[in-house]
Amino acid sequence: MLNVADKILRRTKTEHPTAFVLGASSVNGLSFVRSLGRKGIPVTAIGSAGSPGMRSRYCIAVDDREFVSEETALLSFLEDVGRRLPVKGVLIPTNDPGVLFVSRSSSVLSQYFEFVVSDVSTLEAITDKIAQYKHAVSVGVPVPQSYYPNSESEIEILSGSLSYPCIVKPAISYIWRRYRARERIDKWPKIAEVHGPDELVQAYSEMAKSGVSPIVQEKIEGDDDQIYAVLAYFDRESAPLGVFTMRKLRQWPVGAGDGSYVVSVDEPSVTDIALNLLKSFGYNGLAGVEFKKDGRDGVFKLMEINARSQSQEGLAVDCGVDFPYIAYEDSLARSVSPVTSHRTGVTWVSLSWDFRSYRQNRAAKQLSTLTWVNQLRTSGSHAYFAWDDPKPFIYSSLGLAKDLIYRRSG
């Protein structure tokens, strides 16, 4: 029986070098697998075995569980495969750890793969939100009022002078996510909204245990539909080859989560801010920049920069900005014409996320069942559903059903 390396090599084509998608478990990674696979490009998806994103018919799936805690194991695997490839492969990392891994290991990986990522210092300045916000302020980009306490004694002093509710968020998100999973913490998946000094100290203390520095911010006025995001791809010279703008209509968790129902828009003011901010870093590769329009003054304020692709890349592809293919072609130093316009008014939905958002919004009498069903029916882009690739949707739906049954049973 062929091992996974042999399977990868059997599918390799000289005219279409194999794409290796890191972080393929997510809907983000799935959009890259599908875009490239549909063009006849062999795709190796590296992610958590059994996840919906790894079920696509367009990829060979490689379980990353043995690589998660040890980058050297992943590097060894890629070196072993890379040595045997007839032509260099293309590495496309789609999550924070993957991007940092490729940049840190670039001297070794560049012998066997082509890729475009920023240097480690740039990535660390973006991945760490404290450095990210300080840089944004230095180049004139508005950010929420932010505080960076260094100890519990400092947070206790600060707690008496703040307006509530306010936000506590980890400086490095992926470290907090790993800690939450390991410690089985159900609350605060991305941020903590706190309503008084005691909650503030509790959230700060718990996040600090993960090893990251918590940030305290004012809460920006406005609902979830005031959040805008700009997706982009910058080449080796930090020139944008692809630009796409979207607006969240709902997210999960409500108030602080991933966009579950979003729409493509044309919003030049927020697009310009995002592009200029990324250029100020001398950025290279895939990125997403998120802003919220402040209900008090109408100013777009920076929520975060992600030094990677985002969950709604599939919407961009469906609207004419094929980031996966742009990244693939540019990595191979092939000519790519910049794509800076796209179809607007196209909605994208993730059923597994949006069902949860719908239930909470319905309970708050902010969304009716009929309206929600009609929105699903008329959506032009889907996170998992695809007629030509049904398994990811089937498995994501099964996962949603299991989760609901588990929660109902207590």
DSSP assignments along 304-354, one per residue: EEESS--TTHHHHHHTT--HHHHHHHHHTT-----B-----S-EEE-HHHH
Listed by start position, the domains of the chain span: 4-115, 145-218, 224-405
- Identical fold between 145-218 and 224-405: no
For 233, phi then psi, to 5°, come to -130, 125
The C-alpha torsion from 93 through 96 and 99 to 100, rounded to 10°, is -150
What is the architecture, at CATH level 2, of domain 145-218?
Answer: 2-Layer Sandwich (3.30)
Structure tokens at 331: 């990595």
Tell me which CATH code domain 4-115 carries: 3.40.50.20
Class of domain 224-405: alpha beta
Evaluate whether 216 touches 130 at the Cβ level (below 8 Å): no
Strand, helix or coil for residue 142: coil
Decide if 64 contacts 48 (C-beta within 8 A).
Answer: yes
Cα dihedral 354, 174, 271, 385 in deg (nearest 10): -30
Q: What's the pTM value of the predicted model, to 2 decimals?
A: 0.92
Mind listing the pLDDT tens digit of every residue in the chain (410 residues)? 347 777 787 777 777 899 999 999 899 999 999 999 999 999 999 998 888 889 999 999 998 876 655 678 899 999 999 999 999 999 999 999 899 999 999 999 999 999 999 999 999 999 999 999 999 999 999 999 999 999 989 999 999 999 999 999 999 988 998 898 888 888 888 888 999 999 999 999 999 999 999 999 999 989 999 999 999 999 999 999 999 999 999 999 888 889 999 999 999 999 999 999 999 999 999 999 999 999 999 999 999 999 999 999 999 999 999 999 999 999 999 999 999 899 999 999 999 999 999 999 999 999 999 999 999 999 999 999 999 999 999 988 887 777 666 666 55
